[in-house]
Amino acid sequence: MIRSFSAFWHSDFGWKFRHSPTAILSALVTLLLVGAAIAAPLIAPFDPFNSASLNLMNGFSAPMTPNAFTGQVFLLGADDQGRDVFSTILYGLRVSLFVGVSAVLFAMVLGVTLGLIAGYVGGRVDGFIMRVADIQLTFPAILVAMLIFGIAKGIIAPQYRDQMAIWVLIIAIGLSDWVPFARVVRGATMVEKNRDYVQAARLIGRKPVAIMVLHILPNVLNPILVIATISLALAIIAEATLSFLGVGAPPTQPSLGTLIRIGQTFLFSGEWWILLFPAATLLALALAVNSLGDWLRDALNPRLK
Amino acid sequence: MKRSLFLSTAIAVLSWGAATQAETLRWALAGDALTLDPHAQNEGVTIMLQSQMMEPLVSRAPTGELEATLATEWAVKADDPNVWVFKLREGVTFHDGATFDSEDVVFSMDRARSEASQMKGIIASVAEVRATGPYEVEIVTNGPNPILPAALTSIMMLDKGWTEANNAVTVQNVAAGEVTFSSTNVNGTGPYTLVSREADARTVMRAFDGYWGKDTFPLAYSEIIFTPIQNASTRVAALLSGELDFIQDVPVQDIDRVKGTAGLKVESSSENRSVFFGLNVSDTLVAGNIDGKNPLADVRVRQAINMTINRDAIRDVVMRGQSVPAGIIMPPFVNGWTEELNAYPAPDNEAAKALLAEAGYPNGFPITLDCPNDRYINDEAICQATVGMLGQIGIQARLNATSKALFFPQVNAMETDFYMLGWGVPSYDSEYIFNFLYHTRDESYGSWNSTRYSNAELDAQIKAIAAEVDLPKRDAMIAQMWETAKNDLAYIPIHHQMLNWAMKDGLTVTVDPDNQARVKYFALN
Amino acid sequence: MTPPPVLSVRNLVVAIPSRAGISRPVNGISYDIAPGEILGVVGESGAGKSMAGNAIIGLLDRPAHIASGEVWLNGNRIDNLPPDDLRRIRGRQIGMVFQDPLTSLNPLLQIGDQLTETIREHLPMSAAQARDRAVAALEEVGIPAAAERLNSYPHEFSGGMRQRVVIALALCAEPSLVIADEPTTALDVSVQAQIIALLRRLCRDRGTAVMLVTHDMGVIAEAADRVAVMYAGRLAELGPVRSVIHAPRHPYADGLMGAMPSLSIGQRRLRQIPGAMPRPSRIPPGCAFNPRCPRAADKCRVDPPPTLADDPQGRAACWFPMEHPA
Amino acid sequence: MLAFLIRRLFQSVVVLLVVGAVSFGMFRFIGDPVNNMLGQERTQADIADLRERLGLDRSVFVQYAVFLRNAAQGDFGVSYRQGRPVADIIAERAPATLELAAVSGVMALVFGIGLGVITAIKRDSLVSSTIMTLSLVGVSLPTFLIGILLIYVLSVQLEWLPSFGRGETVRVGGWTTGFLTQSGLVALILPAITLGLYQMTLIMRIVRSEMLEVLRQDYIRFARARGLRERSINFRHALKNTLVPVITVTGLQMGSIIAFSIITETVFQWPGMGLLFINAVQFVDIPVMAAYLMLISVLFVSINLVVDLLYFAIDPRLSIERVKA
């Protein structure tokens, strides 16, 4: 671990990283937020998911101001349900990041697999997969996600919906995001397919797929990493937008998007902290991940020195 | 002032709007009318918009009393308790100039009772409507109906000649894919005529010169521009920025902001609507029994839930003071309501836990609370708060908040054990509540009773009060029935909603408990 | 009396600052090219030949820049001109031909448009006049049915034909100097000779000076009048083609000639120069060639090599130039 | 070419049918319109009766078949909510959405390409990095929040711009336009910015990275070496070569603009098709939802087709064979 870090630090890539304030800053912010999300149960002063510990009377407490009824003080205030905003943000980050990362992983696995199949098999299968990709691209993520959400709501029994909502979100967002992965992998596969070693493997009767995967994946690792980073930011925003349309994470298990949806209703009434802090967190997260993705794309692209 | 030319033009446009507002009411709320056919939809906003342009025989004034409108007098016929006699107002003309008379009443009532009419349920007791003179009609009911006039407040009168000439005699039947002239055109007797209408966008109405009540009502506005704005923030923003004069549904959290804005004020009143939870009281839980039993079937469990809900906290925090905590699922205006009935228990988690333990659930049990998230004021937040409160006595509630489009079918299909519901009482009589919410569910009764509550004795009483003309006796029966209902706790009351209408200063408006704004009552000073 | 040179390069230094310090891919070169003369610039890749060409025409990519030295064109100094004046010189007075005709032409524009655009940029002509001139330029480079081909896109030509188009583009405003940067490297062997012949014919006819940058001594032998051998940013040897090929004085030039199969006639065996050219950032002290030089002495490892002028024959920058019996 | 077009059309029809089938499969999960269509006083018998009359008791496939049969004859049914022919309602709503989409699309395209070119040419300048950073902020906030914040600042606090609606519209033939009145134009500003901001950022970023790629190409160096002016090099030579990917992305973004108009129209109460759709979803107005989704699919499929055709117009190297491959 330490050695690979040191290898990274002293590599060419590491040098570029060290000399880019943007990269360092966004990496730091990302690490900080991811760390906070992972450690949420340890650092959050309250568990907002534990309904038994809530006191509605704490509702709308201003930041750092004792509540008029209970006298409790909240660092970033309390929301409409009396939940500590700081804690809900930590837990909301957890949900947002979990949804985002899982959705991107899902999209990645789906896209890489379909890309490999399309590139390797070619012909009608390729045509079919890429046609589906075209259609998928034309259909905006929001509509796809709404569609899947609608279907899932109907299929899943009401008593399981709040637990399933997160998974439905992951699938909905992931499913609308696989195409770039598939395109990159398909291109690489088509190049690799005609290489000698693949032909040779085929001649001696070995299944070349496994070998190809081993050869192709390292080649496309960089673009996949870049796509994944940018998709992550997109997925986090998409989740927030779906929450606004009322098809996101449930309010009892809020994501940053849900918190913003709830918070925006208090924009005019003066309880700015319910909107501002989650929105700032989302902005920081998306901004950091986005600029990291930007930087990665430039740094990993040898032609764009 | 360093505003650019462009911006000052924008300001000019806005202030130009302000210059004409002396006569124009710019009005917004979340929903829009579904149709202009008065008998095609029994829905609040639809009726409200129509009632600016059309009128019933009897209407309910903002103060709550019945008010003579197209009928000037009404009474049960001396020799037949099954017949009501209505004397009609003379000298009333429709917007196209036609005269209003008994022929139009018979026609309109028959139309409202026809197959495709959505109003037929309200006047189901009417057997026949007959003209006994040009300005007198008799309405025959199936058995005595003491509260018929109240039922007529949402039955608008159409001109027979106009309707026939435009092939609109049959009520628009949406199910059959019908489109009728009357769904987009209006010829009523009301104070305003239709100028233009784009559904969900903009409806413009202008004062009707030939209105009979010209000297009776303030009629401060010569023009109404009605714009539905669904998004609450946008609606409030439009009011705050001076683009609107009047909005009907101010989110509770924005009331102070509106009040604090110069030139704006908020008028509040209790609404004719109670919000409550329904519980599955049958032997089996939809989600599967717990230890072979349905805990909710045990009245002690229901009492525990009732006891743990902190209604005052919900009022103070979730509703920002804009609710009346309820001990009964009957709004305060309704015949049968008393202070005593509305008494609600002080929250007592210890007693609640004891009751749960007594019932055999010392550690609580899991349950799913189904809620709409776009129907009642802060519905989702109330449910969320309730989940928290139930958690304090060990009941592990999960929240399933969905849109009303998913929620109501689910409730109707009784695929829920624990759900939120709101109920308004247009007839202002307890019978309406018992009929729909407490009667055992069958083809025609108890159609909103998804609790599976069934009490044969109560069912018999419900049918009895519908026909009881001896009012003191009837009231006694109602009081006794509420006693039963309150003890059985099939429903757990939360609160009665409040209405908050925001408007510009200088506008004098009495908030209508049914949320039915009628511009003719609006006064400017 | 020789005519005044078209191009005069004096002590040209191109520097690239980087995190490792400043490297100088072109480090003090000087030469002249006379009208109608073809100067071959030869060397391994990385010797600085292309960089020198780019420096002359003013197309160095940042952060590379001319650190010192002078470039004179037709008696005017051009290395210190403002960008827009330099732009006016490009295409008009200096034409440039790139290595790969596949990528030198804008794929989305018809070649006629690319030609007329260049012509009208530099010459006061109407669209019709420019068109006629474009047709003439294409005919000159041997494109058949030139008038029709004006509307063709680059991808509709073969590789050799495209290079002809590129040459037509470089010459269409009649520059006095053409810098041809590896003009044949990307072409089929069969086409290479034609392109070289074409370039040579056109320049001879018009008296255009040519700086022919290549790593291919065969091309130099065929086309150039004089040759400059570059090594690690410096001129190792500069002289008439015949002399440099048959009697190289600099050991590097000698090695280079020995590595050319087409030239190793007679009893000389095909040789390879051991080692590799140092990167511009790792130039050894003394003579840059010393680690690879069979004749290197202590002096070569300490003192920078002498200038060409110091050589009795004025050709090689070497402390111990090779002597060839006449 | 013709064969290609026919193939594409055939594929498009298949897409449409699939979208239709998926939509119908979805409707039963969105809810049941009956509850919305009947008043509070409905009985269980009324519910059963209405379900039967609407054909909701039949299987999804039968409902879909009936819809297709009618749609093929140009009959999209009658809205459950408004009781008017769906075709009429959509025709009435389409201008609002199309005008908004067009304005924000043009805005996104013009500013996106312009800023993309600037940030690519002046790659390391302060202006360029400021624009890039701001653009990241633009894609890092959800659209709805940007809309609400714009309303809060520009309408409520400063009272400069209207917060909702289309302003005064003028009817030209069957088309209502907000372009001809001052209030109509002013009303367009905030929604168009909200809707176009994200697409603008996206186009800007793709133009920038494509420009950087193209500017390194030999033909750009060659163009420089021929002494062409920078402006001609940047816009005539470089920009044109970035257009294929830009058009691809832009085409796809047009689809997104239509989809995101659902959100923008909700926030700004813009009386277009997105608002219609949201209303339809809330009411379970199946005929409207079906027609909207079909229309959107037709639109998306046409955009795809137009994008393909534009490729040919822009890039002479493309042959039909290569596109098929």
Q: Where are the alpha helices (DSSP H) in chain D?
A: 2-30, 33-37, 44-54, 60-72, 86-121, 126-139, 143-150, 182-215, 218-225, 230-231, 239-268, 273-283, 286-314, 320-324
Report the C-alpha gap between B359 and B381 in whole angstroms.
29
Query: Mapping DSSP to helix (H, G, I), strand (E, B) and coil, where does residue B3 land?
Result: coil
pLDDT tens across A160-194, in order?
766 777 888 888 888 888 888 888 888 878 777 77
Q: What is the pLDDT of residue A2?
A: 61
Report yes or no: C91 at the D interface, CB cutoff 8 Å.
yes
User: Which residues from D are below 8 Å from C173, CB to CB?
Assistant: 226-227
Is residue C33 within 8 A of residue C177, CB to CB? The reply is: yes
A-B interface: how many C-beta pairs under 8 angstroms? 93
pLDDT tens across B467-519, in order?
888 889 999 999 999 999 999 999 999 999 999 999 999 898 989 888 899 99
User: Which residues from B are below 8 Å from A60, CB to CB?
Assistant: 317
Cross-chain residue pair D163–B172, CB shorter than 8 Å = no
Report yes or no: B263 at the D interface, CB cutoff 8 Å.
no
Cis peptide before C63 (omega within 30 of 0): yes
Cross-chain residue pair D303–A135, CB shorter than 8 Å = no
Same domain, B494 and B509: no
Angle between helices D86-121 and D286-314 (to 10 degrees): 40
Using CB atoms, list chains with 3+ pairs below 8 Å to chain D.
A, B, C
Report yes or no: C96 at the D interface, CB cutoff 8 Å.
yes
User: Which residues from B are below 8 Å from D151, CB to CB?
Assistant: 233-234, 237
Q: Which residues contact D90 (CB under 8 A, 6 or more apart)?
A: D76, D273, D276, D288, D291, D292, D295
Distance from CA of B34 to the nearest CA of A (A): 23
Closest alpha carbon within chain D to B7: D160
- CA nearest to B470, candidates B146, B139, B149, B147: B146
CATH superfamily of A22-47+74-304: MetI-like (1.10.3720.10)
What is the largest distance, in Å, between two alpha-carbon atoms of chain B?
80
User: Which residues from A are below 8 Å from B232, CB to CB?
Assistant: 265
Residues forming a β-bridge with B429: B335
Report the C-alpha gap between B43 and B40 in whole angstroms.
9
* Residue in C87, C107, C121 nearest the CB of D317: C107
Mean pLDDT over residues D271-277, rounded? 89
* Residue in D29, D136, D260 nearest the CB of A290: D136
pLDDT tens across B449-471, in order?
999 999 999 999 999 988 888 88
Burial B477-502 (b: 16+ CB within 10 A, else e): bbeebbeebbebbbbbbbbbbbbbbb
Complex confidence, ipTM: 0.78
Cross-chain residue pair C108–D241, CB shorter than 8 Å = yes
Sorted by where each begins, the domain ranges of chain C are 94-174
Report yes or no: D267 at the B interface, CB cutoff 8 Å.
yes
How many angstroms separate the Cα of A148 from the Cα of each of A143, A246, A249, B13?
9, 14, 14, 44
Our answer on whether A and D touch (3+ beta-carbon pairs < 8 Å) is: yes
Cross-chain residue pair C57–D221, CB shorter than 8 Å = no
Cross-chain residue pair D31–B240, CB shorter than 8 Å = no
Report the C-alpha gap between C290 and D180 in whole angstroms.
81
Taking only the tens of pLDDT, chain B with its 525 residues reads: 344 444 444 444 444 444 344 589 999 988 888 889 999 888 888 999 999 999 999 998 888 789 999 999 999 998 898 999 999 999 999 999 999 999 999 999 999 998 888 888 888 889 999 999 999 999 999 888 888 998 899 899 999 999 999 988 888 776 676 778 888 899 999 999 999 998 888 899 999 999 999 888 999 999 999 999 988 888 999 999 889 999 998 999 899 889 999 999 999 988 999 999 999 999 999 888 888 899 999 999 999 999 999 999 999 989 989 999 999 999 998 999 999 999 999 999 999 999 999 999 999 999 999 999 888 999 999 998 999 899 989 999 988 888 887 788 888 889 899 999 999 888 888 999 999 999 999 887 888 999 999 999 999 999 998 888 888 999 999 999 999 999 999 999 999 999 999 999 989 898 988 889 999 999 987
Cross-chain residue pair C90–D223, CB shorter than 8 Å = no
Report yes or no: D289 at the B interface, CB cutoff 8 Å.
no
Cross-chain residue pair A290–D140, CB shorter than 8 Å = yes
Same domain, B153 and B63: yes
Cross-chain residue pair D144–A264, CB shorter than 8 Å = yes
- Chain B residue set in contact with A, beta carbons under 8 Å: 232-233, 236-237, 240, 251, 253-254, 256-257, 287, 310, 313-314, 316-318, 368, 370, 373-374, 380-381, 384-385, 387-392, 394, 397-403, 406, 410, 415-416
Distance from CA of B1 to the nearest CA of D (A): 12
Cross-chain residue pair D269–B230, CB shorter than 8 Å = yes
Model confidence at D325: pLDDT above 60: no
Closest alpha carbon within chain A to D304: A138
User: Which residues from D are below 8 Å from C118, CB to CB?
Assistant: 226-228
Give the DSSP H/E element, type plus range, for residue D175.
Answer: strand D175-177
Closest alpha carbon within chain A to B259: A269
Our answer on whether D and B touch (3+ beta-carbon pairs < 8 Å) is: yes
Using CB atoms, list chains with 3+ pairs below 8 Å to chain B.
A, D
Closest alpha carbon within chain D to C169: D226
* Residue in A244, A290, A291 nearest the CB of D144: A244
> 412-471 in B: which are within 8 Å (CB) of D?
412, 424, 426, 436, 441-445, 447-448
We report the CATH number of the domain holding residue B461 as 3.10.105.10
Model confidence at A302: pLDDT above 60: no
Cross-chain residue pair B400–A251, CB shorter than 8 Å = no
Domains of chain D, CATH where assigned: 89-284 (1.10.3720.10)
Task: Look at strands B366-372 and B396-402 and give their pairing.
Answer: parallel
Mean pLDDT over residues A156-160, rounded? 68
Same domain, B493 and B511: no
Cross-chain residue pair B318–A59, CB shorter than 8 Å = yes
Report yes or no: D21 at the A interface, CB cutoff 8 Å.
no
Cross-chain residue pair D31–B403, CB shorter than 8 Å = yes
Give the DSSP H/E element, type plus range, for residue B128.
Answer: strand B126-133
- CA nearest to D201, candidates D111, D120, D290: D111
Query: By residue range, what is the domain housing residue B514?
Result: 2-263+505-524
Distance from CA of B432 to the nearest CA of D (A): 9
* Residue in A140, A286, A287 nearest the CB of D255: A140
The total of structural domains in chain B comes to 2
Q: Is D182 exposed, middle or buried (0-12, 13-18, 19+ CB in 10 A)?
A: middle
Mean pLDDT of chain A: 80
Cross-chain residue pair D224–C59, CB shorter than 8 Å = yes
Q: Is D102 exposed, middle or buried (0-12, 13-18, 19+ CB in 10 A)?
A: middle
Query: Mapping DSSP to helix (H, G, I), strand (E, B) and coil, where does residue B492 land?
Result: strand
- CA nearest to B314, candidates B277, B278, B358: B277
Distance from CA of A3 to the nearest CA of D (A): 34
Handedness of CA A124, A126, A132, A134 (dihedral sign): negative
Mutate to test the interface with D, among A25, A135, A274 (most CBs of D within 10 A): A135
Cross-chain residue pair C118–D241, CB shorter than 8 Å = no
Report yes or no: B230 at the D interface, CB cutoff 8 Å.
yes
Same domain, B255 and B291: no
Is residue B113 within 8 A of residue B126, CB to CB? The reply is: yes
Which residue would you say has higher pLDDT here, C261 or D320? C261
Burial B41-80 (b: 16+ CB within 10 A, else e): bbbbbbbbbbbbbbbbbbbbebeeebeebbbeebebeeee
Same domain, B431 and B397: yes
Cross-chain residue pair B233–A264, CB shorter than 8 Å = yes
C-alpha distance across the termini of chain C, in Å: 27
Which residue would you say has higher pLDDT here, D95 or D32? D95
Same domain, B166 and B252: yes
